[in-house]
Structure 1
Amino acid sequence: MQQLESLSLEQQMPLVKNNAILVIGGAEDKVHGREILYTFFQRAGGQAAHIGIIPCASRDPVAIGARYQQIFEEMGAQAIEVMDIRERDQSEDPAWKTSLEQCSGVFMTGGDQVRLCGLLADTPLVEFLRQRAQIGELTLAGTSAGAAVMGHHMIAGGGSGESPNRSLVDMATGLGILPNVIVDQHFHNRNRMGRLMSAIATQPDRIGIGIDEDTCALFQSDEAFQVIGKGTVTVIDPSQVTHTNEPDVEATQPISIHGLRVHVLIHGDSYDLRHSRVIPATT
């Protein structure tokens, strides 16, 4: 990571096969430049890609699966499989392991993150997917709900536009792909700063990542990410917090957090989670 400051954006994040996890804030461009989706496609192997689409967060998995299938077909993917899982026992079918072994990229769509985890969490399918993603054997992307499930702790729901308080956020267990982060999506678009701060106040050993729409945090390891897209990624770092009243107040009372660090990153900026530092984009 120390070399990043002297490298260009292309050198920092070369478009190579595999070894990437894309955490997308939702509403990514599907029509015009398709920058984020095309980055996923290239990372998954380009025209040689074998892509699996997991649409089960959606209430209409057939339609959303078909939409992404069409997009990746237009890009030229060699093979695409929509993994249409409607019931939890389906995700325990050992045949999915065979499907995942063939995939160079897997894309989890938006919808309801609670539904997604309810169908996939602690199943052989997601265990195998997590293992392959973490060791860089495939490229994994999740958008909106598919992004929210990336951490061990997940924001399952809540409000927006309020000052931090425990009642503002509902927490649950995610899929643990990137266990050290808590992700919130559609971030500034839906005024979720207070919600993510509330989540971090209850889990001060994690890093909060708030991702705007049509914006992506691209991880090449679990220790650093780079921003791609039109919006911002907000990092909430509690490592230097000196005081919080979170354990002592009622659920609806405001939370005080002293020493909380907040960074706002744009396209090309990187963040080193291990050393808690921002690496600006090279101009």
Structure 2
Amino acid sequence: MNTHAEEASSPLGSLVIIGGALRMDNAAVWQRIVQQAGGKGAKIAVIPAAAGNPERAGAATVAALNQNGAQAFVVPLSVKYPHFKPQDIVNDAAWLDKLKQASGVYFTGGDQARIVQALLTPDGSKTAMLEAIWALYQRGGVIAGSSAGAAIMSTTMFYDAQPVLPTLKQGVTDGKEIANGLGFIGPDVFIDQHLIIRGRFARMLPVMLKKHYKLGLGVDENTAMVVSNQAEVEVIGYKGAILFDLTEASTDSSQKNFNISNARISYLDRGDRFNLRSKTLTPSADKLQGKLDPAHAYNTDRHFYADILANSVVTDLMFHLIGSKQERSIGLAFGLDEQPELGFEFSFSKLAESQGYFSASSGAEAYTVLKLRLDIRPVKMQLPLYK
């Protein structure tokens, strides 16, 4: 991915990318942010630029960080603050000096467009405050963000996004559905959030194809991905993340509707690690002895998924498929939009390289699934569906 020259100049810091809806009692994530910033007493700047109510969001985030050992403070950067203009804050020497003394920055959730608009000039160059944030990251600090704060981590982000199904049907346009992010994770990985619980995994694919990303990571709510300066991703918190690898994927350009063949989809559970450079997976310690052997699969049930975009259905399918004798599972996506007859078939299949890991040590079943094949093709349904 990166040349040696790029690696030599890469930031020394880390990222904590949170899928949104981070609970205040999720100590694993809050404490990890403080740890990445240097531990107890770490000075962390909270930027609530995305929030609809920045004062409330900023105060709540500072309280959560301080309860976990930080010395956090709010930078009043937002178009919603009545007494502070963003263009003044981003050039204010006092705030820039505070960032020079800090070892972490936290972006709250909300509307990611507000973050980018506040920290970039109209011509797209970095403001003095964004330069200071990058300097913090370069010298070893942590950049954390939840929801909108996660979206800005890649070089491309969703800007004015449509729901998942219209995104598949209509595609994405620069400056409309997508726009430039701040790119902390670098140019090679696309990031999305609120992923599994909202069925958003599929909306990543049109963006990745259009912008030529080979890797995509989408993290679920109340869950975080910690990305080290060695490109090691560790999943912590409540649930997990979806990983797409499009290295071997292709599309049929003669087909006017969205389609993709031979993509790879994986599910990384909490505690799992994945290296973005070597593409190697290290399952969590409780799963190391629980590698699933397809030759000894006991589950013979055949499942069909009528709404693959519903809450957590994609992971339910992946967990069932990797531990069953079934070689292929099908899911459909239809909706009552402008083209109700047009939908998509999602075909998941096991390959020789597919792997699964399982643990029930915590009292609940937990799975890791690596490298299922995913093919998506447009399909049409006969209308009316019923009389």
**TM-score tier (shorter):** 0.7 to 0.9
What does residue 346 of structure 2 align with? none
Q: Does 1:83 align with 2:82?
A: no
User: What's the offset of the Cα at 1:162?
Assistant: 2.1
**Structure 1 residues 48-127: aligned runs within 5 Å:** 48-77=41-70, 79-86=71-78, 87-90=85-88, 91-121=90-120, 122-127=126-131
Q: Does 1:171 align with 2:163?
A: no
Distance 1:36 1:191 in 2: 23
Q: Does 1:129 align with 2:138?
A: no
AA matched with 1:83: V
AA matched with 1:21: L
2:15 pairs, out of 13, 18, 21, with 21
What does residue 328 of structure 2 align with? none
CA contact under 8 A between 1:52 and 1:106: conserved in structure 2?
A: yes
Give the greater-gyration-radius structure (CA): 2
User: What's the offset of the Cα at 1:275?
Assistant: 2.3
5+ residue gaps, structure 1, are 1-17
RMSD: 2.1
What does residue 153 of structure 1 align with? 156
CA contact under 8 A between 1:204 and 1:238: conserved in structure 2?
A: no
Higher relative contact order (CA 8 A, sep 6+): 1
1:200 pairs, out of 193, 208, 215, with 208
What does residue 322 of structure 2 align with? none
Distance 1:131 1:254 in 2: 43
Distance 2:169 2:155 in 1: 19
Q: Counterpart of 1:35 in 2: which secondary structure?
A: helix
The TM-score, its normalising length taken from structure 2, stands at: 0.62
Q: Percent identity?
A: 29
- Bigger drift between 154-163 and 113-122 goes to 154-163
5+ residue gaps, structure 2, are 1-11, 79-84, 121-125, 287-387
Any idea what the Cα deviations from partners look like across 1:69-118, whole Å, max 9, x if unmatched?
A: 122232232x3220011344131334332111111211110010011111
CA contact under 8 A between 2:27 and 2:68: conserved in structure 1?
A: no
Distance 2:224 2:194 in 1: 11
CA contact under 8 A between 1:208 and 1:236: conserved in structure 2?
A: yes
What does residue 230 of structure 1 align with? 238
AA matched with 1:148: A
User: What's the offset of the Cα at 1:130?
Assistant: 2.0
